[in-house]
Amino acid sequence: MSPVPTLSDVAKLAGVSLATVDRVINRRPNVRAHTVERVRAAMAALDYRVDPLAAGLARRKRYKFVFLLPGGTNAFMADLAARLESLTGWLTANRASVETVFADVFDPKRLVEAIDGIDREADGAAIVALDHPDILAAIDRLSGDGVAVVTLVSDVPKSQRLRFIGIDNTAAGRSAGTLLGRFTAGRAGTVALLVGSLSLRDHVDRCLGFSQIVERNFPHLTVLPVIETRDERNRAERAAKDVLGEHPDLVGIYNVGAGNVGIASALRAGATAIRPVVVCHELTPGSVEALRAGQFDAILAQNPGHEVRSAARVLLACASKTGVVEEQERIRIDIFIRENLPA
Amino acid sequence: MSPVPTLSDVAKLAGVSLATVDRVINRRPNVRAHTVERVRAAMAALDYRVDPLAAGLARRKRYKFVFLLPGGTNAFMADLAARLESLTGWLTANRASVETVFADVFDPKRLVEAIDGIDREADGAAIVALDHPDILAAIDRLSGDGVAVVTLVSDVPKSQRLRFIGIDNTAAGRSAGTLLGRFTAGRAGTVALLVGSLSLRDHVDRCLGFSQIVERNFPHLTVLPVIETRDERNRAERAAKDVLGEHPDLVGIYNVGAGNVGIASALRAGATAIRPVVVCHELTPGSVEALRAGQFDAILAQNPGHEVRSAARVLLACASKTGVVEEQERIRIDIFIRENLPA
DNA sequence: CTGAAAGCGCTTACAG
DNA sequence: CTGAAAGCGCTTACAG
């Protein structure tokens, strides 16, 4: 017997053929209970584990996955798409291909159409979704048709998705609250809260976490009513300008959604006595530049490269019935200040 | 031709045998320049890429790696060892095994012995090293004997190591300086700086980055002379107690090395009017508890799971001559506050 | 310098 | 319900 036991070793020990061992390992039907037992015992005795390389090679199948991402100009989403693009080499090496579809996330009808339009022959799909009943239903239809679904970045918790790949957004909001609160160093005043849309679950969760922390731990800060920017740069700029103009006691801005370039530009235009503390989300050229320039104070982030790799690994593991290294798939809430920005 | 081109497709197109194509792909000797050209052209025309599964299966070789970690009670290092342990499944699946060796990092002589003792038949080694001339020489001997070396956590920059897997420690020190400086919210006073040892490159680098930032950006803070703790819990506790007793104006503590449990306990014993801001390194049960309890304010961390996986992937890629996803191997400086602690 | 053949450890039809 | 044989896409001796 070789140093590492093989299928043949198991077959020999159990006194059956290779095909039968294969049936037991892969839980295929038509094996007598008694035979299953014998094979199981032999596997246990030898501490046998299948060789994924050999199994992958022998299985002729190639896998197909679909990634459904938001269209539009959102820099983070563009980054996500780019990371996915650069993952194709790895995917090909693992006998998989991916089709990327872009859809308008802000419009439930279109998103439903896009989900319903996903090829039912696909082995899996990763979807940046809106938490809306119609979307939930569409995801469940897709899943019911045998396509494994993971939600990416923004979750639809009650759907039949296999798993959510993204950060805990309530915790991210709480982190933003603590950083902003502490960085204001005791100054009293108002704080502006900008979001892309109140119909996006991740944005709402961040608002919740933020408000909780500020109310409890920083009573000298008053959070202004939420402003929606639709994740558009111009609207974010307008909102920041208004807020800077109308509230001379503004000590902080938390931008939950996109549009950071607009905020930086508003900050440049309307210089105040003491610059407000600014906390935002995602490493994009605009946000990084503002952090470097000292206009922003902290960036909360999720790693888009990690997210697409995680989605791909999870879908592949599901399709090929192999395991997942749980710890590796946990997406962390990254905190960046000027000093720990990646090179 | 299949949807994805294979070796046979290339061989057919180039009018040569499989073996010859294999020689060209793997840069084996004894192929006429002209033949090489023909094969290269065919590969390019078909956009051929080798199937790593098939190649891995056909190559009968199994890989052996050695991980050299510090012995002792350091909680982070114990975590690192545990993560490595739980990676064995993945390693086996990839035809690799690892031997873990523990050595005293604080003693150059012993460390040299340990490095010299590494099996020259091994395909690669990951070493948590001390940046010392004798260690450098030992690493270069190992590397010269054909064992690929990566340094882990602490680098020996001028050695022949393939790559360093860890964080930028100067940047980590700068991050600590900014967080501690901003969290003190303008209060003036002294700051204590504890390190494990000034002969550890990572510790010294952190001190450097920290001092730079504090001097430049927080002139109202005075950094006290560095205290060495040898990464021992009791010495750290003693140091913290002394500093708390002797400096009523202490506003901050930065612990560069291990021994966080000792510091937390000193903090509990010697209650001061305003608790000093505490920044430390690594997520360990003790540091996490202190952060949760509000005794510590921030933890800088490197992800030990990521680090051992990265080391394993890099060594495996080197041994099997396959590629590395650069972006995936970059170890980030994680910042944790109570709110973004992993679940 | 080049090629024919065996084999890596599985899975897949097909036959019984 | 079970097995014999072919084959997945490479690499490895061996022969010439």
A chain contacts of residue B51, beta-carbon cutoff 8 Å: 57, 93
State the DSSP string of B221-254.
Answer: EEEPPPEE-TT-HHHHHHHHHHHHHH-TTEEEEE
Report how far residue B106's alpha carbon sits from residue B95's, in angstroms, rounded to the nearest whole number.
Answer: 34
A92 chain-B contacts, CB cut-off 8 A: 4, 49
**C-alpha distance from B107 to closest chain A C-alpha (Å):** 31
- Helix then strand count (H, E) for chain B reads 14, 12
Give me the pLDDT at residue B24, please: 92
Q: Who's near B46: CB < 8 A, 6+ residues apart?
A: B1, B5, B9, B10, B13
Chain D positions within 7 A of any protein Cβ atom are 1-14
CA-to-CA distance for B139 and B289, rounded, in angstroms? 38
Q: Are A256 and A278 in contact (CB under 8 A)?
A: no
Within 7 A of a protein CB, which nucleotides of strand C?
A: 1-14
Q: What is the mean pLDDT of residues A331-338?
A: 98
pLDDT in the model for residue B53: 84
Q: What is the pLDDT of residue B1?
A: 44
What are the chain A neighbours of B57 within 8 Å (beta carbons)?
51, 53-54, 57
pLDDT above 50 for A255: yes
Q: Which residue of B has its CA nearest to A186?
A: B185
- List average pLDDT for each run of 10 residues in chain B, which is 343 residues long: 80 92 90 90 91 87 93 89 92 90 88 96 94 96 95 95 97 98 95 94 96 96 96 94 94 96 92 86 97 97 97 92 85 97 91
CB nearest A185 (choices: B186, B334, B339): B186
Chain B positions in Cβ-Cβ contact with residue A306 (cut-off 8 Å)? 328
What are A122-146's pLDDT values in tens digits? 999 999 988 999 999 999 999 999 9
Q: Are A11 and A21 in contact (CB under 8 A)?
A: yes
Q: Mind listing the pLDDT tens digit for each residue in A207-249?
A: 999 999 999 999 999 999 999 999 999 999 999 999 999 999 9
CA distance B176 to B333: 11
Beta strands A277-281 and A298-301, pairing class: parallel
Count contacts between A and B (CB, < 8 Å): 114
* Identical fold between A63-166+304-331 and A169-301: yes
CATH number at A7-50: 1.10.260.40
**Angstrom distance (rounded) from CA B228 to CA B30:** 59
Among candidates A53, A174, A343 on the partner chain, residue whose Cβ is nearest the Cβ of B339: A174
**Whether the predicted pLDDT of A1 surpasses 50:** no
Task: From the CA of A130 to the C1' of D8: give the distance in Å.
Answer: 41
Alpha helices in chain A (DSSP H): 7-14, 18-25, 33-46, 52-58, 75-85, 88-93, 108-116, 133-144, 169-183, 201-217, 233-246, 260-269, 285-292, 304-319
Are the beta carbons of A57 and B62 separated by less than 8 Å? no
The length of chain B is 343
Q: How far is the CA of A48 from the C1' of D10 (A)?
A: 24
pLDDT tens digits, A183-203: 999 899 999 999 999 988 999
Q: What is the pLDDT of residue B199?
A: 86
pLDDT value of residue B271: 67
Put simply, the answer to whether B328 touches A305 (Cβ < 8 Å) is yes
| Contacts within 8 Å (CB) and 24+ apart, B264-271 | B264/B289, B264/B290, B264/B293, B264/B295, B264/B296, B265/B237, B266/B236, B266/B237, B266/B238, B266/B240, B266/B241, B267/B240, B267/B295, B268/B295, B269/B241, B270/B241, B270/B244, B270/B245
- Structure confidence at residue B74 (pLDDT): 86
CA at A27, C1' at C14: how many angstroms apart? 20
Q: What top-level class would CATH report for the domain B169-301?
A: alpha beta
Chain A residues with CB inside 8 Å of B49's CB?
Answer: 89, 92-93
Nearest CA in chain B to A175: B339
CA distance A281 to chain B (A): 14
Domain positions in chain B: 7-50, 63-166+304-331, 169-301
Residue A271's pLDDT is what?
67
- Contact predicate A230/A207, CB 8 Å: no
Topology adopted by domain A63-166+304-331: Rossmann fold (3.40.50)
